Chain A
Amino acid sequence: MIQVFRLCKDYGPFRHALSEVSFRVEPGEFVFLTGPSGAGKSTLLKLLFREELPTSGQILVNGRNIAVLPESQVPYFRRTLGVVFQDFKLIGRKTIFENLAFVQSVLGLSRAEQKRRAYQALKRVGLHHRMNSHPGELSGGEQQRAAIALAIVNEPVLLLADEPTGNLDPVLSEEIMKLFLEINIRGTTVFVATHDVELIRRMGKRVLTIEKGKLRDRDLAREESLAREAPFLPGS
């Protein structure tokens, strides 16, 4: 699903946000991207979303080299993705149902299809009973679920999330992660950037760690399994 090869991103001659990053994510995987603040997590996600262009290297998403994608094709590429950000942006003057229907009207879907997909997405995140509410009437957790519904309404093959639980308490964060798991179980590849180490540990999924723009690939589940097998080894 995602293949990144020797990816570099520089902001000026002295600021190397990403340096020779290479990794691969298979279809249907659930992967965390973690690292300290300023490590390059958001930069990587922006590159995957084609919000920015790499300085060098290649990025293949669902078989398409997005680094060389023409500008006119970027919107069509983004329709295959779902994106969730920490700020869970929703259009305040529309109900959450109208939010979901609105973005589909821009994509040219029929009114009946808009309504069907919007309702289905809200039902998947457990917000179908609040579909006539405005974002301002929802709690933080509900707003983030609405944002997730917005991200999955077009049934994307890949879901990118940048600090989706950054503004939420641990209980709500757990709820959101369960939602991501359910989405992943249904076949969507999920790629979540977060610095919540405890959350990552509880999920037990594959982890890519970025530090100072360089990547380290960790399989936490395997690490924990090894630790249990040899608990008395020096350094464990």
Chain B
Amino acid sequence: MNSRYLFGEAWAIARSGPRHTAMAVLLIALAFYVPGLFALVSRNLARLASTAGDPTAAILTLDPAADAHAIAARVAGDARVARVTIVGSRAAFERFRKAYPDLGAALADLDEAPFPPTIEVTLKPSAPPRAARELARTARSWPGVDSAESEEEFARKFRDGVRILRGAGLFLGSLLAIAAVLSVASAVRLALDLHRDEIDIMRRMGATEAAIRAPFWLHASFEGLAGGALALALLYATYRGAVHLLAREPHPVLSIFWVGFLDLPTALALPAVGAAAGLVGSFLSLSKRPKA
């Protein structure tokens, strides 16, 4: 069995049932698109967490009309506080622009910065564990403070959120990968039926089972590879579409999910896993034993 025969027959199998091949590729693409979307979103959330600078214990979001310095002085009066930093609207906007370059450029034309002023509180190392939470709870009742969150709580919630998102993506991705494998198995079984006469002839002529099955394995792997690549293309189109829409109408929360695309290893994993799913599907569907 040579490679010319192998690739030639795999191509012939694809051509003999073009609709079935196209449907299998589409099913695999859809199966990998959804977990790919989860991976993209969770990656951007994780990136957001990692771009945070020095650990901030609490963040107070202020009313734009409030006296930021007065509130900062009041916070600094707490013995547990090491440092208080006022982040004005403009400064917050610059941070956003650095963190999200794709979106920040689109906001540059706005007359005023869309972000409220905030006060970032850093505690002394000697501060007790619940100090940030207590400080935030106290500050919420101060006039001029719209909201106060302890970063510890926020960070915990954020990490939990990312973990849940990743877990959900993994679970859903696994289910969909199984669906993709079964779809390929059905498509291969269909291709087998279409080529039943050829297989009979090959068996009569003394072809080994490997020689008979190898083109189907290869064909199914190609289906999986194409499906994974299509999923990647759809994901990239979704990403570019989201960036384009958010550039026209920025949203401070939704923008977080579309900071950047998948890194190269993750992106290449989609067609690779697709090819593997195709191969597994073909193994599942190809079996024959002699009657005895």
Question: Which of A101-109, A123-131, A181-189, A205-213 interfaces with chain B?
Answer: A101-109
Say if the beta carbon of B292 comes within 8 Å of chain A. yes
Cβ–Cβ contact B291 & A91, under 8 A:
no
Q: Which B residue's beta carbon lies closest to that of A72?
A: B208
* Of A74, A79, A89, A92, the contact of B200 (CB 8 Å cutoff): A89
Q: With a CB–CB cut-off of 8 A, which chain A residues contact B203?
A: 75, 78
A103 contact from B1, B4, B201, Cβ within 8 A: B201
Within 8 A of B (CB), among A119-144: none
Pair A91/B2 contact, Cβ less than 8 Å: no
CB closest chain-A residue, reference B210: A75
Q: Does any Cβ of B come within 8 Å of A150's Cβ?
A: yes
Closest chain B CB from A83 CB (angstroms): 5
> Residue on B with the closest CB to A106?
B207
Contact: B197 with A91, CB < 8 Å? yes
* CA distance in complex: A107, B292 (Å): 26
CB neighbours of A53 from chain B (8 A)? 290-292
Give A30-65 interface residues, CB cut-off 8 Å to B: 49-53
State whether A77 and B16 are in contact (beta carbons under 8 Å apart), knowing that A89-B200, A91-B198 are contacts in the complex: no
B16 to chain A, nearest CB (A): 7
CA separation between A74 and B204, bound complex, in Å?
Answer: 10
Complex contact B207–A75 (CB within 8 A): yes
Q: A53-B291, A106-B211, A108-B1 are contacts. A78–B201 as well, Cβ < 8 Å?
A: no
| Residue total for A at the interface (Cβ-Cβ under 8 A) | 28
- Output the nearest chain A residue to B209 by Cβ-Cβ distance: A75
Write out, one digit per residue, whether chain B residues 202-230 have a CB within 8 A of any chain A CB (1) or not (0). 11111111011000000000000000000
Pairwise interchain contact A108-B204, C-beta atoms closer than 8 A: no
Known: A91-B197, A105-B5. A83 touches B291 (CB 8 A): no
Whether a CB of chain B sits under 8 angstroms from the CB of A71 is yes
Question: Which single member of A52, A75, A92 contacts B206 (CB below 8 Å)?
Answer: A75
Pair A107/B201 contact, Cβ less than 8 Å? no
Query: Nearest CB to that of B15 among chain A residues?
Result: A93
Q: Contact between B205 and A103 (Cβ–Cβ < 8 Å)? A: yes
Give every chain A residue within 8 A of B207 (Cβ-Cβ): 75, 103, 106-107
Q: Which residues of chain A are near B5, meaning CB under 8 Å?
A: 105-106
Inter-chain CA distance A53–B211, complex, in Å, is 23
Q: Which residue of A lies closest to B205 (CB)?
A: A103
User: Residues 1-13 of chain B: 1 if any A CB is under 8 Å from the residue's CB, otherwise 0?
Assistant: 1101100000010
Interface pair A77/B198, CB less than 8 Å apart: no
Q: How large is the interface on B (under 10, 10 to 19, 20 to 34, 35 or more residues)?
A: 20 to 34
Within 8 A of A (CB), among B89-121: none
In the complex, what distance in Å separates the CA atom of A116 from the CA atom of B236?
A: 52
Residue of A71, A93, A103, A106 with most partner-chain B CB within 10 A: A106
**Taking the complex as formed, is A154 at the interface, i.e. its CB lies under 8 A from any CB of chain B?**
yes
Known A51-B291, A52-B292, A106-B1; judge A154-B197 contact (CB<8 A).
Answer: no
Interface residue A76 (Cβ < 8 Å from any Cβ of B): yes
Instruction: State the CA gap A76–B209 with chains docked (Å).
Output: 11
B292 to chain A minimum Cβ distance, whole angstroms, is 4
B206 A150 Cβ-Cβ under 8 A: no
Residues of A within 8 A of B197 (CB): 89, 91-92
Question: Closest residue to A77 on the B side, CB-wise?
Answer: B206
Query: Chain A residues near B209 (CB, 8 Å)?
Result: 75
**Pair B290/A103 contact, Cβ less than 8 Å:** no
Instruction: List A contacts of B204 (CB < 8 A).
Output: 49, 78, 83
**Given A76-B206, A108-B2: A52 in contact with B201 (beta carbons within 8 A):** no
A75 touches B291 (CB 8 A): no
B211 proximity list for chain A (CB < 8 A): 106-107
Residue of B nearest to A51 (CB): B290
With a cutoff of 8 Å between Cβ atoms, the chain B residues found around residue A92 in the complex are 197
Contacts of B212 in A (CB 8 A): 106
Q: Considering the complex, give the chain B residue whose CB is closest to the CB of A85.
A: B204
- Whether A79 and B205, one on each chain, are in contact in the complex, defined by CB atoms closer than 8 angstroms, is yes
Flag if A52 contacts B291 (CB, 8 Å). yes
Q: Are A91 and B16 in contact (CB under 8 A)?
A: no
List the B side residues contacting A89 at CB < 8 Å: 197, 200-201
* B200 and chain A: residue at smallest CB distance: A89
Chain B residues close to A by CB (< 8 Å): 1-2, 4-5, 12, 16, 197-198, 200-209, 211-212, 290-292
Can you list 10 contacts pairing A with B, beta carbon distance less than 8 Å?
A52-B291, A52-B292, A71-B290, A75-B207, A78-B203, A78-B206, A93-B12, A93-B16, A106-B5, A106-B212
**17 new A-B pairs (CB below 8 Å) besides A72-B208, A79-B206?**
A51-B290, A52-B290, A53-B291, A75-B209, A77-B206, A78-B206, A79-B205, A89-B200, A91-B197, A92-B197, A103-B201, A103-B205, A103-B207, A106-B1, A107-B207, A154-B205, A154-B206
Q: Which 8 A-B pairs have the closest CB atoms?
A: A79-B206, A78-B206, A53-B292, A103-B205, A106-B207, A105-B5, A75-B206, A75-B208
